[in-house]
């Protein structure tokens, strides 16, 4: 029976993934940062959880001890994310900026490095580590520099981990505009700090323009059940990529596809 570890299991996507996999008979366990109604519901369904703050080294260490007591995992989902601080780089407190990098990137990788010791490698099993990307990889997203840089770094880190650790799949998914609580930080920041993204966020949320949570969950399920040569080291979009179509398999033959690089650039006369 497959066992899946969800880091930040009470996040909106983490919570939906947990219930989806529980309904399919998968063993699910995970970490959380704050007590919540969602946490109580998961515990009621038999999910074993551990408190973990990715900005706190001691908290991560204690969580890894807990992980060692709960056996190996077949897939691990890294679901934590924060858009704060929101504002121009020159205006935000640098300590807050640095904390964001720790929560969105450094802390996540600290957790992953230690948690990899407990991946299931028996019977030629290929474990999967799934990260989440965010907006800003294709343009300069104003006023969200810490969050954007963290996500871009994670995309590249997937490729590096894929090249170094050949017995495990590492992949990352951009879920698109999904109606989750992460967008509340933009509304709270206000238009002066969030800039043009403030009005866009309001429009998306108020006009039911967000991408389906159900589709995001299905895409995550597809990723954790796909072959290594198809997904590992690659950056996928739940919204824009044909992951439900067999033609997605053609990327196996192109190691530069779905990566973060200047591949194919030309100098024009």
Q: Please list the pLDDT of the chain residue by residue as tens digits (269 residues).
A: 699 999 999 999 999 999 999 999 999 999 999 889 999 999 999 999 999 999 999 999 999 999 999 879 999 999 888 899 999 999 999 999 999 999 999 999 999 999 999 999 998 899 999 999 987 777 778 999 999 999 999 999 999 999 999 999 999 999 998 888 888 999 999 999 989 989 998 999 999 888 899 999 999 999 999 999 999 999 999 999 999 999 999 999 998 999 987 777 777 65
CATH number for the domain including 174? Answer: 3.40.50.720
Any domain includes 264: no
DSSP secondary structure letters along 128-193: EEEEE--S-SSS--TT-HHHHHHHHHHHHHHHHHHHH-TTSEEEEEE--SB--GGGHHHHHHHHHH
Any domain includes 133: yes
Looking at the structure of the chain, the number of domains it has is 1
- The length of the chain is 269
Cβ count near 146 (within 10 Å)? 26
Tell me the C-alpha distance between 254 and 229, whole Å: 10
Any domain includes 74: yes
Any domain includes 255: no
Tell me the C-alpha distance between 75 and 128, whole Å: 5
Any domain includes 253: no
Q: List the domain range (segments joined by +) for residue 92.
A: 3-240
Any domain includes 207: yes
Any domain includes 250: no
Any domain includes 263: no
């Amino acid at each position: 029976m497959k066992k899946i570890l969800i880091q930040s299991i009470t996040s909106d996507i983490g919570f939906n993934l947990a219930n989806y996999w529980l309904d399919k008979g998968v063993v699910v366990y995970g970490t959380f940062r704050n007590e919540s109604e969602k946490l109580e519901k998961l515990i009621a369904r038999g999910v074993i959880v551990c408190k973990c703050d990715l900005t706190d080294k001691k908290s991560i260490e204690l969580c890894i001890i807990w992980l060692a007591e709960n056996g190996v995992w077949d897939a691990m989902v890294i679901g934590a994310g924060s858009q704060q601080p929101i504002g121009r780089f020159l205006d935000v407190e640098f300590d807050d900026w640095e904390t964001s990098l720790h929560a969105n990137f450094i802390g996540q990788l600290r957790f992953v490095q230690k948690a990899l010791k407990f991946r299931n490698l028996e019977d030629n099993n290929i474990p999967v580590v799934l990260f989440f990307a965010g907006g800003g990889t294709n343009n300069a997203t104003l006023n969200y520099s810490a969050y954007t840089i963290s996500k871009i770094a994670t995309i590249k880190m997937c490729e590096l981990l894929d090249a170094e650790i050949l017995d495990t799949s590492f992949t990352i998914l951009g879920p698109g505009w999904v109606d989750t609580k992460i967008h509340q930080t933009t509304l709270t920041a206000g238009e002066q700090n969030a800039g043009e993204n403030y009005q866009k966020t309001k429009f998306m949320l108020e006009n039911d323009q967000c991408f389906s949570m159900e589709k995001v969950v299905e895409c995550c399920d597809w990723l954790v059940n796909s072959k290594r040569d198809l997904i590992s080291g690659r950056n996928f979009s739940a919204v824009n990529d044909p992951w439900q179509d067999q033609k997605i398999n053609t990327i196996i033959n192109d190691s530069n596809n779905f990566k973060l690089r200047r591949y194919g650039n030309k100098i024009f006369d």
